Amino acid sequence: MQAAYYLENGAARDVLQVGEVETPAPVAGEVLVRIHASGVNPSDVKSRRGAPGRAKAFPQIIPHSDGAGVVEKVGDGVDAGRVGERVWIWNGQWKRPFGTAAAYIAVPAAQTVPLPESVDFDAGACFGIPALTAQHAVTVGESVAGQRVLITGGAGAVGHYAIQFAKMKGAEVITTISSPQKADHARAAGADHVINYKTEDVAAVVQDITGGGRVDRIIDVDFGRNQSLIPTCLKPGGFVVVYGSNDMAPPLQILPLFVYGPCVQFFIVYELTAEARAKGIADINELIASGGMRHTIAAKFPMMDIVSAHELVESGTAIGNVVIHP
């Protein structure tokens, strides 16, 4: 089969290759999925680059954890009725060498989720990381129903879904963006208030919006920079859910943490418990069924052009998800 792969960490154009590799065969408990769309996430790009803590663990890596396609074969012990099923995939290349940037992937059947007919494969290739991360960030801990939630980076792939889940769960959503185009994008997802964090004083605008109050929860894309929002925007004892940080070793301001006593929850979507992931999948299905789930595909590339796909994700300029088509 045709697949994209790398043998060494490095820049996309230096290490990514497209070529013939052996088509996998599903072993017991696995399904073989013909990939229609493979999602490219910042995590895939960081792993390919060999970012700190992400040294290459296998000789050959087919990148990308997210993808969607059709079950073509099943291994022993898997219901043969799954052949022909449209599915989306989670953790395709987490602690495994061969991800979704290929014509086929063989994965444990449990890592494939039925993809409703109303959702196309490109959108399905955004669920494993962006949608599940967003859902967990909104739902971990106490309910956000009736609460005010500040979502930083609301035009991001995760942020955009987080707005949708927060609205679905009954929150008032304030989000930060960096341009009028991103403001429109966040509003279209349901954000009640948008703040341009590059041109406005976020804390002052939050004060205006809340009538001098503060938010109950912050869902944060960049903890290194946004920890300053804890003393200025969060209610004492409020909840902060951190799923990203551009700086992996930022100076930590301890005093405000003592004074405001936030509960700070870090997590990585790859390591969700089975229970949390099941809840995430249920909420994704509920949002789809409501007819109100919005997906944004920023760009599509043929697999041959995977270098451009990685470079676009790395540039941070895409609004929405980048997918490749094997």
CB of 181 to ligand NAP, least distance (A): 10
Would you count residue 219 as binding ligand NAP (CB under 6 A)?
no
Would you count residue 176 as binding ligand NAP (CB under 6 A)?
yes
Between 103 and 142, how does the x/- string for binding to ligand NAP read (CB under 6 A)? --------------------------xx--x---------
CB of 146 to ligand NAP, least distance (A): 25
| Segment holding 280, helix H or strand E | helix 274-289
Looking at residues 251 to 280 of the shown chain, list those that interact with ligand NAP (rule: CB under 6 A). 267-269
The sign of the CA dihedral 236, 241, 245, 248 is positive
Determine the Cα–Cα distance for residues 84 and 71; give it in Å rounded to an integer. Answer: 5
Among 24, 159, 190, 280, binds ligand NAP (CB under 6 A): 159
Report the candidate in 176, 223, 171 with the shortest Cα–Cα distance to residue 200: 176
Determine the Cα–Cα distance for residues 154 and 163; give it in Å rounded to an integer. Answer: 7
Helix (H, G, I), strand (E, B) or coil at 251: coil
Determine the Cα–Cα distance for residues 182 and 178; give it in Å rounded to an integer. Answer: 7
Among 128, 244, 280, 326, binds ligand NAP (CB under 6 A): 244
Would you count residue 223 as binding ligand NAP (CB under 6 A)?
no
Cβ distance to ligand NAP smaller for residue 139 or 176? 176
Would you count residue 100 as binding ligand NAP (CB under 6 A)?
no
Cβ within 8 Å of residue 95, ≥6 positions away: 57, 270
| Residue 54 and residue 121 in contact, taking contact as beta carbons nearer than 8 Å | no
Give the CB-nearest residue to ligand NAP: 156
CB of 9 to ligand NAP, least distance (A): 16
Would you count residue 164 as binding ligand NAP (CB under 6 A)?
no
Would you count residue 63 as binding ligand NAP (CB under 6 A)?
no
CB of 84 to ligand NAP, least distance (A): 31
Name beta bridge partners: 61.
Answer: 6
Strands 17-20 and 2-5: antiparallel
Would you count residue 81 as binding ligand NAP (CB under 6 A)?
no
Q: CB 205: neighbour CB atoms within 10 A? A: 18
Determine the Cα–Cα distance for residues 91 and 95; give it in Å rounded to an integer. Answer: 8
Would you count residue 91 as binding ligand NAP (CB under 6 A)?
no
Q: CB 222: neighbour CB atoms within 10 A? A: 19
Among 6, 90, 243, 301, binds ligand NAP (CB under 6 A): 243
DSSP output for 109-176:
GGGEEEPPTTS-HHHHTTIIIIIHHHHHHHHSSS--TT-EEEESSTTSHHHHHHHHHHHHTT-EEEEE
CB of 176 to ligand NAP, least distance (A): 5
Would you count residue 69 as binding ligand NAP (CB under 6 A)?
no
Cβ distance to ligand NAP smaller for residue 40 or 78? 40
Cβ distance to ligand NAP smaller for residue 211 or 316? 316
CB of 315 to ligand NAP, least distance (A): 9
Among 3, 221, 241, 324, binds ligand NAP (CB under 6 A): 221
Contacts with ligand NAP, residue ranges (CB under 6 A) = 41-43, 129-130, 133, 152-153, 155-159, 176, 178, 197, 221-222, 225-226, 243-244, 267-269, 316
